[in-house]
Amino acid sequence: MSSADTSSAPSTPPLPDRAVAPADPQDAPPGPRPRPAGREPRSPTRQPGAEAVVDCAVYVDGRRQAPVAPEEVLRVARDSGGFVWLGLYEPAEDELGALAERYDLHPLAVEDAVFAHQRPKLERYDDGLFMVFKTATYVEHEQLTATSAVVDTGEVMVFVGPQYVITVRHGHHGELSELRHRLEEQRDLLCLGPAAVLYAVADLVVDTFVDVAGAVEDDVEELEASVFSPERTDDIGRLYQLKRELMSLRRAVFPLEVPLQKLAEREIDAVPEAMRSYFRDVLDHAIRVRDQVASLDELLTSILQASLARTSMADNEDMRKISAYAGIIAVPTAIAGIYGMNFEHMPELDWRFGYPTVLLVILSACFFLYRGFKRNGWL
């Protein structure tokens, strides 16, 4: 694990010239921090001109205090024994860089929060925590097609320190304003400090996973009924698309188990002992939704294989019908071919009943062949 510089930054520092503050300014080279190769900021969905700061407040003894200037909130929280909850939405590099020095955030964590595209994880930096959540939402659709979007994902990053918690949200869903209002009505929980906000965010994310998995399960059941219906359907494209969309949910759910397990079982300075039971409850829900998603993925694989097998059986059935009719048609074709050779001496050419006899032989042979194919299930 990396460790951050434990020195406190001034309450109201000037805006920095670089996007991310180094762990130790004296050891850092002059000039802006180089951008990692191949990494670009996440495509923004924030409206042009909108502020990155969604909400900012100081909480003391579980109560929200009177509004304070953003430059003063950390000092007020330290003086009053409370903590700051700062909510950000898709901050730019310079915006989060200014906060990095004010709150003494580790540069690697700040870099992850700006560029996003992270997997769920938990990092410890001295007395602070940095946790990444992948959020998910179900995309409503009238009918599932081979190109339907089913699961949309975003990210929420949480910085947790002794007197602050900073939430950074990416994506057009996963808003935390309603969560903040609910928490403000639970004073006993907010009295436990910034870790209570981390728990609330984790609980909201996992509960959303449960809802999304339930909606995806309805789509799986609809496809299962379609594949095994008496009508002949082609569901392979829809099955493959749903399996791809479910993979996005897997990437959000599966890696979350390890970070939650650390919060529930290990001694972490930023997480009070009283909060571990809360995180154990979230961990239990996360494991259940993980098992549900894994079961859905296995079921989709089985349905896809069944659909392929059914398509193969239908093709074989078509080939048997074609072969049967080809065998029936071969009889009159052979007889007509023989009598169409126009040899001078051929039996029954001058016989009065030759023509009707040949027709009768052809019809009789075709009838018996049709009956035999029908009895064997080829027709």
Local structure of 48: helix, strand or coil? coil
Question: What's the gap between Cα 71 and its chain centre?
Answer: 37
pLDDT tens digits along 263-272 = 999 888 889 9
**Contact status, residue 36 vs residue 110, Cβ threshold 8 Å:** no
**Contact status, residue 160 vs residue 80, Cβ threshold 8 Å:** no
User: What is the token pair recorded at 48?
Assistant: 């042009």
pLDDT value at residue 33 = 45
User: What is the token pair recorded at 193?
Assistant: 């400090």
pLDDT tens digits along 121-139 = 999 988 889 999 999 999 9
pLDDT tens digits along 273-303 = 999 999 999 999 999 999 999 999 999 999 9
> Distance between CA atoms of 174 and 189, rounded to whole angstroms?
21
Burial track 296-313 (b if 16+ CB lie within 10 A, e otherwise): bbeebeebbeebeebbee
> 355 vs 366, which has greater pLDDT?
366
- Predicted confidence (pLDDT) at residue 325 exceeds the cutoff of 80: yes
Long-range contacts of 57-61 (CB under 8 A, 24+ apart): 57/84, 57/85, 58/82, 58/83, 58/84, 59/83, 59/84, 59/85, 59/190, 61/187, 61/191
> Distance between CA atoms of 146 and 137, rounded to whole angstroms?
19
- Predicted confidence (pLDDT) at residue 185 exceeds the cutoff of 80: yes
pLDDT value at residue 30 = 38
> 182 vs 230, which has greater pLDDT?
182
**Contact status, residue 307 vs residue 243, Cβ threshold 8 Å:** no
pTM: 0.74
pLDDT value at residue 32 = 40
Task: Write out the DSSP string of 177-190.
Answer: HHHHHHHHT-HHHH
Residue linked to tokens 């050779």? 341
User: What CATH class has 53-311?
Assistant: alpha beta
